[in-house]
């Protein structure tokens, strides 16, 4: 797992306002036909041992805090899950 400081920002306008948590699960990767749906409830690969709820719940929690979550994967090379969270709470505007 990597926690990137705001100084590592991908977008200079976010320096000091966002943090990233990047995980690199030790998996075989997620098939390209499933990847666009991994944040939907009950979506899982044929060889998954989970319920298909973990990433859907994660997305809901991250979005409730004003952030975003994304997945990149290459079968056989593993999966990267990136969580992008603001350092300050979102305004209620």
Query: Measured in whole angstroms, how far is the alpha carbon of residue 76 from the centre of its chain?
Result: 19
* Radius of gyration in angstroms for the set of CA atoms belonging to the chain, rounded to a whole number: 15
pTM, rounded to two decimals: 0.72
- pLDDT tens by residue, 5-37: 555 545 555 555 677 777 766 667 888 899 999
Sketch the domain layout of the chain as residue ranges.
23-93
CATH classification for the domain delimited by 23-93, as one of 3.90.950.10, 3.30.565.10, 1.10.1070.11, 3.20.20.30: 3.30.565.10
93 vs 88: CA distance, rounded Å: 14
89 vs 92: CA distance, rounded Å: 9
Q: Which residues contact 75 (CB under 8 A, 6 or more apart)?
A: 28, 29, 30, 31, 32
Binning pLDDT at 50, 70 and 90, where does residue 86 land? confident
């Amino acid at each position: 797992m990597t926690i990137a400081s705001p100084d590592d920002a991908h977008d200079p306008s976010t320096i000091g306002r966002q943090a990233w948590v990047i995980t690199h699960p030790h998996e075989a990767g997620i098939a390209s036909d499933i990847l666009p749906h991994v944040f939907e409830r009950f979506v899982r690969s044929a060889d998954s041992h989970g319920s298909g709820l973990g990433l859907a719940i994660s997305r809901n929690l991250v979005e409730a805090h004003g952030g975003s979550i994304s997945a990149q994967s290459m079968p056989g090379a593993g999966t990267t899950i990136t969580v992008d969270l603001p350092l300050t709470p979102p305004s209620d505007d």
